[in-house]
Structure 1
Amino acid sequence: MASPQTFRSPYEKRVALVQNAIKDNSKLGDKAAGELAVRVLHVLDSIPEKVR
């Protein structure tokens, strides 16, 4: 019997990617890395497209 697949939005995938990068390069745990990942993405998304 196959397990049900869960849908992850592109935003959730980006958060997980950043969270894993933070965890791999620091001593932060899952929760702290996840919170920091959300803040990092918020800051990156607030930079005007022309500047990026």
Structure 2
Amino acid sequence: MVTEPVYVSRYEQRVKLVQDVLKADTPLTVEQSRALAMKLLRTLDRIPEKVR
């Protein structure tokens, strides 16, 4: 039986990475850590490349 590979976008990979760090190091729930991860990434993406 051949299974189809599941596509995961680069954005979702980044969200999952940040979410895992937040979940491991804070008392946040999975939903709260995901919401905060999305806010953090949105903020980081708005910082000009020269500043990063």
Under a length normalisation based on structure 2, what TM-score does the superposition of the two structures give?
0.91
| Deviations, residues 5-51 of structure 1 (Å, cap 9, x unaligned) | 32100000000000000001100011000000000000000000000
Unaligned runs of 5+ in 2: none
Structure 1: which 5+ residue stretches go unaligned?
A: none
Q: Which moved more, 1:2-11 or 1:36-45?
A: 2-11
Structure 1's 23 and 4: CA in aligned 2 closer, same or farther, altered over 3 A?
Answer: same
Q: CA RMSD in A?
A: 1.0
AA partner of residue 21 (structure 1): V
Per the normalisation by structure 1, the TM-score is 0.91
Name the count of aligned residue pairs: 52
Percent identical across equivalent pairs?
Answer: 42
- Whole-angstrom distance in 1 between the partners of 2:28 and 2:2: 34
1:31 counterpart residue number: 31
